[in-house]
Amino acid sequence: MTADCHGTAGSSGAVDVRDRTRVALVGSPNAGKTSVFNHLTGLRAKTGNYPGVTVSRSVGTMSGGSEDVVVEDLPGTYSLSPVSPDEEVVSDVLAGRHPGVPSPDALALVVDATTLGRSLSLVAEAMALGHRVALVVTMTDELSSRGGRLDLSALSAALGVPVVGVVGSTGLGIDALRDLLADVGTWQTAVVLPPVEGPELDSWTESVLTAADYSPAHADTRTQRVDAVLLHPVWGTVVFFAVMFAFFQVIFAVAAPLQDLVQAGFDRLAGLAAQIPDPLLAGLVGNGVVGGVGAALVFLPQIMLLFLLISLLESVGYMSRAAFLMDRVMAKTGLEGRAFVSMLSSFACAVPGIMATRTIPSSRDRIATIMALPLMTCSARLPVFILLTGLLVPAGGAVGPLDLRGVVLFGLYLLGGFSSLVVAALFKATALRDHLTPFYMEMPPYRLPSMRSVLVTMWASAQVFLRKVARIIFATTMVLWLLLNLPVRPAETEGMDATRATTYTLEHSYAAQVGHAIEPVFEPLGFDWRIDVGLLGALSAREVFVSTLGQVSAAQNPDDPQQALSQARYTDGDHEGERVFTPPTVVALLVFFVYALQCMSTIAVMRRETNSWRWPLVAVSYMFVLAWGLAFVARHITQAILGA
Amino acid sequence: MTLSELAPGANALITAVLGEPAVARRLASLGFRPGTTVSCVRRAPMGDPTVYRLRSFELCLRRREAGHIIVEAA
Amino acid sequence: MIPIHPLPGPDPRTVRWKMPAGTLPVRGTSCSVPSSLADTYADGIVARTVIGEDYLDVTLGENRSWREDGARVRVAVLAALEQPEAWEVAPAGADTGASPSVGEPADDARLYDATVAALAGEVGELARSHGGAIELDSVRDGVVTVRMRGACNGCPAAELTLHARLERQLRETCPDLREVRSEGTKAGRGLLPWPRVGRRPAASR
């Protein structure tokens, strides 16, 4: 059955069938809504955006025998009277005003038992709109462990609507909730709609709480003790950097061997493909298909680990603390603390960084962050930087005790990070300006996360990656392979050794034609057509630049083309016969790689996360202008300094 | 005085929430309602934002938002 | 602000407003309520209120719904609970509540409902067709007090007709009716004997 349902969730539109009951989960952030959602829908959730806007949406069918109930996890909100465009989406969906999104038949209001007093104002708003509602009270275990008290059946009587208690970490009460959601028609409704503001609301809230025998929890002493350290001006900062260091260590140290394993697996497959007698078919299958799938899947371990960590930090409660510590720094760019984690993730890869912006509540902040993230020095740039730095700086060069190549590399990372923050600030100060939306962030108590919820969140991200991003990487790799290897020249390459043959084919391929065609664009930067072909190859993933350049310059080992490149000379034009990789050209190329958005996967995930082509186009354009302009400037400065 | 002036460790009683109506309403939904006791827990290392405790939960506001909340030292 | 919340009452038109025990000093069907609540009687929203130990049962008038009038009633009840001294109940057997078998309060209740029905029906229609209105003020010890509004207020002809019709209709169903009295405008709190002659405003027809 599981496999069957899985297929249902995968096919788009399956969850939008009209005759099913639609139940929306409404609640404040941190109320445990997502955990309840994950319990109800398991792996059958679909994540995306609401039509036309950059606000995340999760929809899934309920598991456990009631497949005709569709559950929608609305963005977390403290109130139904919106103060931001994002919250407007919630109230629009509830009112059935959002185009393309049917209004829910009933609302399950997820409220945290430890903050029940405050949550009742949201409950009142939802009830006052005339919706059919039920309460899902979470954290009841935490309430009693912290000395609080709540009578759920008395609460139900006082509110006049059904109430179910749920413990997210263990899944206790989920079955009762499932039964309730399967039978929306029988829900009791309140006799009089509650007041939504003023003293009437205070009166109602107090009376309902008294009737439910509610006594609030004590402040969580364990959380207070932990916070005394983790938010301490000195220790808090130390721990913060330690956590971030560990975060990176795990991504690189743990993911790298896994990625190597995936790579090795695909290399084996490619080796098998080489047995195919027809050379073109062998190349197509081995390098095109297997290489394409491999290029995509090699990212998977890193993406899954990154999301595992983000999801863990989030559900433990540390993410709010990190955001709290970094808020002041991020505020300088007009963003808020929560953008920091995305920025950090992008040092690994912009794709998960962009996906992690979902934790940022304001869509303007989200878009500004997404626009700036591709400038962060991702790990795919590293091989390119290492190759080019090697061409630029002689081995053994040093600045005092420091290795000169290391210094240049560090400078490139710094340049990327700094540029990213400046760009974010510029976007926030202009197109994405936003004065009104107030900043507030709850500091939830530290909690042991539900492993199930953490894993489901990780899997959801992996699915997004596999469905949307992997396809793009695969397609780009295939197309590029075809461009680089067609047309075939069996007659001309007759009798050549393999390296010469590859180079000959490449030199006369469609890609070479494109390279020659775009040569005038990059000529002012000193790039010849072979570099242009390399830039073309880098579209599937930046590190492919290295091997493409290796092939086109007839390197014996295309993966280590430094020797061949240092000898490369212009084959035509004004500079015919001169060396291509002069310091000004290499510097220009480095700067170009710092700024250019030449990564199809990033563009694809931007399209998905911003829900339009507009922002990816903006990103590609502004980054190309920056890359070209700054590379040009860098080239001339270098020339001036070297007196060349 | 306003909540932003409350020193860490001190308690106060909220007497009014001012400012843009939408913002004031939101602060009320968050629990900052007249008659509620609030305590300032701690400031971030760089002075902003600040964590406040209301009854049984904690949340942080920037100086700008805390400035809308009028309190009476308790 | 007194904390209150609504619960389903003994019948669909009645809502039980739960309040802290002992909020009001008296028990039973109220015959005099603070002005905020009296206004809802005057507007025909509320027909009856019964005070219990920790609740107030509020019954709506004919053709009223809790969905639409709930908010208004809530505000009125909250204001009225702030003035516990202004509540009065029918004296005899008052603390036994609104049991229909016991004493006068029950009869008053029936008389109340009958008056509400009459005012919503033919008699009220007659007043409205002449540009006026009759509103129920209170029922106490078999005495029904109504209030004339609009064109009917101060017009002896209209008052006479309406009085006769109302009294006749009530007598048919409620033999306990002792008297129907008319109160002037809302401002004039004092009760005037029926029928009222003289001091007739020049503008009336």
To 10 degrees, what angle do helices B21-29 and A116-128 make?
120
Counting residues of chain A whose pLDDT is more than 90, the rounded percentage is 21
pLDDT at C6 over 80: yes
Residue found by looking up tokens 């990212």 in the block: A299
Interface test with C, best of A155, A188, A191 (most C CBs within 10 A): A191
Q: Range with the lowest mean pLDDT among A16-30, A486-500, C25-39, C113-127?
A: A486-500
Burial (CB count within 10 angstroms: exposed 0-12, middle 13-18, buried 19+), residue B2: middle
Chain A hits for C70, Cβ within 8 Å: 191-193
d(CA A614, CA A606) in angstroms, rounded, equals 10
The band of C96, judged by pLDDT with boundaries at 50, 70 and 90, is very low
Tell me which residue of C40, C69, C169, C159 sits closest to C115, measured CA to CA. C169
The predicted-structure confidence for B28-64, as pLDDT tens digits, reads as follows: 888 898 888 999 999 998 888 999 998 778 899 999 8
Q: Range with the lowest mean pLDDT among A36-45, A180-189, C70-79?
A: A36-45
Q: What is the mean pLDDT of residues B19-35?
A: 86
The predicted-structure confidence for A259-304, as pLDDT tens digits, reads as follows: 888 888 888 888 887 787 777 777 777 777 787 777 777 778 877 8
pLDDT at C102 over 60: no
Q: Do β-strands B11-17 and A402-403 pair in parallel, antiparallel, or remain unpaired?
A: unpaired
Counting residues of chain C whose pLDDT is more than 90, the rounded percentage is 20
Please report the pLDDT score of residue C91 as a whole number: 65
Chain C hits for A195, Cβ within 8 Å: 71, 74
The whole-angstrom distance between residue A102's C-alpha and the CA centroid of its chain comes to: 27
Identify the three-state secondary structure at position A419.
helix
d(CA B60, CA B68) in angstroms, rounded, equals 14
Which residue of chain A has the CA closest to C72?
A195
Chain C hits for A196, Cβ within 8 Å: none
Provide φ and ψ at C46, rounded to 5°. Answer: -105, 135
Is A556:A604 a contact under the CB 8 Å cutoff? no
To 10 degrees, what angle do helices A510-522 and A470-485 make?
100
Identify the three-state secondary structure at position A46.
strand
d(CA A49, CA A354) in angstroms, rounded, equals 14
Q: Does A122 touch chain B (CB under 8 A)?
A: yes
Tell me which residue of C89, C97, C172, C157 sits closest to C127, measured CA to CA. C157
The band of C101, judged by pLDDT with boundaries at 50, 70 and 90, is very low
Q: Does C70 touch chain A (CB under 8 A)?
A: yes
Residue found by looking up tokens 């510029």 in the block: A426
For A432-496, the three-class secondary structure string (H helix, E strand, C coil) is CCCCCCCCEEEECCCCCCCHHHHHHHHHHHHHHHHHHHHHHHHHHHHHHHHHHHCCCCCCCCCCC
d(CA A361, CA A373) in angstroms, rounded, equals 17
Position C175, amino acid: P
Q: Which helix (H) or strand (E) holds A137?
A: strand A133-138
- Residue A301 region, left (φ>0) first, then alpha (ψ -120 to 50), else beta? alpha
Q: Which helix (H) or strand (E) holds B15?
A: strand B11-17
d(CA A162, CA A157) in angstroms, rounded, equals 8
d(CA A393, CA A540) in angstroms, rounded, equals 28
Chain A hits for B3, Cβ within 8 Å: none
Chain A hits for B28, Cβ within 8 Å: 121, 197
The predicted-structure confidence for C9-26, as pLDDT tens digits, reads as follows: 888 889 999 999 989 998
The whole-angstrom distance between residue B13's C-alpha and the CA centroid of its chain comes to: 10
Please report the pLDDT score of residue A629 as a whole number: 94
Is C174:C109 a contact under the CB 8 Å cutoff? no
Residue found by looking up tokens 């209030």 in the block: C147
Please report the pLDDT score of residue A159 as a whole number: 94
Please report the pLDDT score of residue A66 as a whole number: 60
Q: Range with the lowest mean pLDDT among A218-222, A321-325, C88-92, C169-173?
A: C88-92
Chain A hits for C6, Cβ within 8 Å: 160, 190-192
Beta bridge partners of residue A69, listed in sequence order: A21
Tell me which residue of A330, A322, A376, A333 sits closest to A353, measured CA to CA. A376
Q: Does A441 touch chain B (CB under 8 A)?
A: yes
For this complex, say whether ipTM is above 0.90: yes
Rg of chain B, C-alpha, whole Å: 11
Tell me which residue of A585, A598, A467, A593 sits closest to A528, measured CA to CA. A585
Retrieve residue A411's tokens: 């400078």
Beta bridge partners of residue B51, listed in sequence order: B42, B60
DSSP A378: -
Shortest CB distance from B26 goes to which of A78, A234, A324?
A78
Please tell me which residue, A476 or B26, carries the higher pLDDT value. B26
Retrieve residue A88's tokens: 């407007």
Q: Does A158 touch chain C (CB under 8 A)?
A: yes
Tell me which residue of A108, A114, A160, A173 sits closest to A139, measured CA to CA. A114
The band of C198, judged by pLDDT with boundaries at 50, 70 and 90, is very low
Q: Range with the lowest mean pLDDT among A1-10, A55-64, A124-133, A624-633?
A: A1-10
Please tell me which residue, A634 or A287, carries the higher pLDDT value. A634
d(CA A168, CA A182) in angstroms, rounded, equals 19
Please report the pLDDT score of residue C128 as a whole number: 76
pLDDT at A137 over 90: yes
DSSP B2: B
Is B32:B21 a contact under the CB 8 Å cutoff? no
Tell me which residue of B26, B32, B31, B53 sits closest to B42, measured CA to CA. B53
Interface test with A, best of B57, B64, B65 (most A CBs within 10 A): B57
Q: What is the mean pLDDT of residues C50-79?
A: 91
Tell me which residue of C27, C28, C47 sits closest to C37, measured CA to CA. C47
- Between vectors from CA A235 to CA A232 and to CA A236, what angle results, nearest 5°? 55
d(CA A482, CA A485) in angstroms, rounded, equals 5
d(CA A456, CA A37) in angstroms, rounded, equals 10
Tell me which residue of C156, C160, C144 sits closest to C197, measured CA to CA. C156
Retrieve residue A510's tokens: 């469609």
Q: What is the mean pLDDT of residues A145-163?
A: 92
Q: Does C18 touch chain A (CB under 8 A)?
A: yes
pLDDT at A436 over 70: no
A89–chain C nearest CA distance, Å? 27
Q: For chain C, which chains pass the contact test of at least 3 CB pairs under 8 Å? A: A
d(CA C64, CA C46) in angstroms, rounded, equals 8
Q: Does A238 touch chain B (CB under 8 A)?
A: no
d(CA B18, CA C123) in angstroms, rounded, equals 52
Retrieve residue C85's tokens: 């001294």
In A523-596, alpha helices (H) = 529-537, 544-552, 562-567, 583-595
Is A552:A508 a contact under the CB 8 Å cutoff? no
Q: Do β-strands A133-138 and A163-165 pair in parallel, antiparallel, or remain unpaired?
A: parallel
Query: Quick count: other Cβ atoms within 10 Å of Cβ A518?
Result: 16
The band of C98, judged by pLDDT with boundaries at 50, 70 and 90, is very low
Contact C6 A160 (CB under 8 A): yes
Shortest CB distance from B60 goes to which of A79, A331, A441?
A441
Please tell me which residue, A175 or A87, carries the higher pLDDT value. A175
Retrieve residue A268's tokens: 């084996």
The band of A378, judged by pLDDT with boundaries at 50, 70 and 90, is confident
Please report the pLDDT score of residue C204 as a whole number: 37
Is A427:B54 a contact under the CB 8 Å cutoff? no
**How much is the mean pLDDT over chain A?**
82
- Residue C142 region, left (φ>0) first, then alpha (ψ -120 to 50), else beta? left
Q: Range with the lowest mean pLDDT among A351-365, A422-436, A458-472, C59-73?
A: A458-472
d(CA C95, CA A130) in angstroms, rounded, equals 37
Is C153:C132 a contact under the CB 8 Å cutoff? yes
CA distances from C105 to A144, B19, B65, C96 (A): 47, 52, 56, 10
CA distances from A515 to A283, A528, A532, A564, C92 (A): 22, 8, 5, 19, 105
In chain C, alpha helices (H) = 35-42, 66-81, 103-120, 122-129, 156-173
DSSP C153: T
Chain A hits for C67, Cβ within 8 Å: 192-193
